[in-house]
Structure 1
Amino acid sequence: MDTAAFVEAVEDGNRTELSRLGSSKSLYALTGGEMDADHIYAVVAALAGAQADRFETWADEADGELADALSAAAETERDRASEAAGETDESVEGGLFDGLDDCDGAVERAGGFVAATIVTKKLQEQLVGFFVGQADPTTAQTFRSYGDELGERREAALAALEAVCADESDREVAVEAAGGVITAAYEVYVDRLEAMGVNPKPVC
């Protein structure tokens, strides 16, 4: 299983979850139904901060390409969390990336790292759409640039994954870990919508 096959396996195994996380309901769920710029920035701050915390810890415990990729991602997310927090006085509940806590060891963490990047890319696309809808092209472009960075991050994460996987068994472990991260994120999405009386299933 090469890196392309790995991504295909993760996306095929979690197609419904990723489709719904990439729908217009995702930001609605994460903001608690408060679809304004202040709450959107609060979401960005919460999600970026959570990833920065986790990736920093993992980087300290990793070696080689995985440590380098995690350190770069942590720095980017820490900066993004700080910038977003400076735009709002609101706060939102986190938890979308709690599935990363279940990843143990280099192989699982590399798989979880890729999965977090895939989920974040889905949300980034919705952020662009939100600010386009708000007639704020400057901020929309900022989040488009974030998408470019996420593409580069995924390539670095996949290269790191290839470096830590010794055999096909390791790759299967990484696929399972990635699926766990996506499933945990999807469960947050479902729980938040159901708590507001919204059906999470239809994609829109």
Structure 2
Amino acid sequence: MDAGATIDAVRDQTETERDRLGSDKVLIAATGATLETEAVLTAATTREAGLADTLGQWAAETDSDVATQFKTAAEAATERADRIGGDAGDSDGFIDHLETVSGTARRVGAALVAAPLVADRFYLQVVSFFINEADENRADTFREIRREASALDDGMTALEHLSESDREAAAAAATDAIGAAYDDYAETLEAMGLDPKPIC
């Protein structure tokens, strides 16, 4: 399984969770049902700042070629957090999960594969929020942030540095991380009395 096939396998295994993480309920969960501009900016900043902190720590701890991808991704997340300009709050379940991941291969899967796939769904709804708010400038900003945050270039490069068995470990860790993001989302909504499953 090469790098591209590894990412495709993760996509296939997490299709349901990612679809639900891209629903219009994701911002309800992320903001505690406070669907206002500042709350949305805080949710987005919190995710990027938490990702940057975790990746920066991993870059310092990693003694392999993959350290470069962790460092690059950390710097990019920091830049996005600065551009969003909100006040970071308490980390969510996805970032909390990342902090528990150990081993280079598993960290590659969790942060450089899973995080972009989760970001793609999250920022889809952030863009929609600002379109609905008739704030076209912020909608454009978040379209660009979505494109950057969901890019898998660092993940592809890092996976290419790994052995096939390590890529399998990375795929499993990515699947676990997306599962953690979904579980946090579902539990938050259920605590509000909402069903995380789509209404058909």
Please say whether Structure 1 and Structure 2 have the same fold, judged by a TM-score greater than 0.5.
Answer: yes
Question: Quick check: 1:159 aligned with 2:166?
Answer: no
Answer yes or no: is the 8 Å Cα contact 1:52–1:74 preserved in 2: yes
State the Cα distance separating 1:95 from its structure 2 match. Answer: 2.7
- For 1:97 and 1:30, how far apart are their aligned partners in 2? 13
Question: What's 2:141 paired with?
Answer: 142
Computed over aligned residues only, the root mean square deviation of the Cα atoms, in angstroms, reads: 2.0
State the Cα distance separating 1:27 from its structure 2 match. Answer: 0.8
Question: What's 2:104 paired with?
Answer: 106
State the Cα distance separating 1:143 from its structure 2 match. Answer: 0.9
Residue 149 and residue 93 in structure 1: after superposition, are their counterparts in 2 closer, same or farther (change >3 A)? Answer: closer
Of the three residues 172, 176, 180, the one matched with 1:180 is: 176
- For 2:144 and 2:103, how far apart are their aligned partners in 1? 31
State the Cα distance separating 1:203 from its structure 2 match. Answer: 6.0
Answer yes or no: is the 8 Å Cα contact 1:66–1:157 preserved in 2: no
TM-score between both structures, scaled by the size of structure 1: 0.89
- For 1:19 and 1:116, how far apart are their aligned partners in 2? 15
Question: What's 2:14 paired with?
Answer: 14
Question: Quick check: 1:170 aligned with 2:170?
Answer: no
Question: What does the per-residue CA deviation read over 1:115-139, in whole Å, with 9 as the maximum and x for residues that have no partner?
Answer: 1111011111111111111111111
Question: Quick check: 1:117 aligned with 2:145?
Answer: no
Q: Structure 1 segments of 4 or more deviating over 6 A?
A: none
1:75-86 correspondence runs (5 A): 75-84=75-84, 86=85
Answer yes or no: is the 8 Å Cα contact 1:48–1:77 preserved in 2: yes
Question: What's 2:189 paired with?
Answer: 193
3-state secondary structure, aligned to 2:99 = helix
Residue 93 and residue 194 in structure 1: after superposition, are their counterparts in 2 closer, same or farther (change >3 A)? Answer: farther
- For 1:75 and 1:100, how far apart are their aligned partners in 2? 17
- For 2:81 and 2:157, how far apart are their aligned partners in 1? 26
Question: What's 1:61 paired with?
Answer: 61
Question: What does the per-residue CA deviation read over 1:89-134, in whole Å, with 9 as the maximum and x for residues that have no partner?
Answer: x946623322212321111111112111110111111111111111
Question: What's 1:47 paired with?
Answer: 47
Unaligned runs of 5+ in 1: none
State the Cα distance separating 1:22 from its structure 2 match. Answer: 1.0
Question: Quick check: 1:97 aligned with 2:117?
Answer: no
Unaligned runs of 5+ in 2: none
Residue 38 and residue 10 in structure 1: after superposition, are their counterparts in 2 closer, same or farther (change >3 A)? Answer: same
- For 1:41 and 1:65, how far apart are their aligned partners in 2? 34
3-state secondary structure, aligned to 1:102 = coil
